[in-house]
Amino acid sequence: MRSKALSSEKMEELFAKFAATVEAKMETLLERLAHLEANIYNPQQAQPEATSFPVSGSHIAPHWMKLDVPRFDGSDAIGWIFKITHFFEYHTTTDHERLTITSFYMEGQALAWFQWMHRNGQLSSWLAFLHALHSRFASTTYEDPTRLLCKLQ
């Protein structure tokens, strides 16, 4: 009977050690998860050098550099398309989100054009938007006869 009692005490001791180990590992995992969530939802406050654990290469790491979204007022369409495309690629932004975010950074005649295009269902995709923007605002090597006619005095 005594051997069973020792065995039972030994098992309780082992279980207590196991439970303490599991609890410590869970605490560490929860801290890591909280750190990752904070970095994903608020990347400008993230500090990569403070990370004390390795991040798997299979995860998309949040970018630590804060970049301003370029504004567009209708001038230099080619330059703006280049900048905004690289901005969204850097942040791995989906096409649907690109259209929504872009609307906040349009100004002047570009904003009026964007609103009209949106109201009339002309913005079906990111590529269609870029093509329409290029057609509307980029300089062309061809002469516009209507514009030339309007300039006649």
pLDDT digits (tens, 9 = 90+) for 75-108: 899 999 999 999 998 888 998 899 999 999 999 9
Question: Comparing 119 with 61, which gets the higher pLDDT?
Answer: 119
pLDDT of residue 82: 93
The pair of three-digit structure tokens given for residue 1, joined into one six-digit string: 């009977």
Any idea what DSSP says for residue 63? P
For the entire predicted model, the pTM comes to 0.51
Buried/exposed 33-57: b ≥16 CB within 10 Å, e otherwise: eebbeebeeeeeebeeeeeeeeeee
Given a contact cutoff of 8 angstroms between Cβ atoms, the answer to whether 77 and 138 are in contact is: yes
Q: Residue 1 — very low, low, confident or very high, per pLDDT cuts 50/70/90?
A: low
Question: Comparing 151 with 131, which gets the higher pLDDT?
Answer: 131
Determine if residue 92 is left, alpha or beta; phi over 0 gives left, psi from -120 to 50 gives alpha, anything else beta.
left
pLDDT of residue 22: 82
For residue 9, which phi and psi values (nearest 5 degrees)? -65, -40
For residue 81, which phi and psi values (nearest 5 degrees)? -60, -45
Given a contact cutoff of 8 angstroms between Cβ atoms, the answer to whether 72 and 106 are in contact is: yes
Quick: pLDDT tens for 9-66. 888 888 888 888 888 888 887 877 777 777 776 555 544 444 444 444 444 545 567 7
The pair of three-digit structure tokens given for residue 136, joined into one six-digit string: 């509307």
Domain boundaries of the chain, sorted by first residue:
2-50, 77-151
- Which residues does 43 contact at the CB level (< 8 Å), separation at least 6? 62, 63, 64, 66
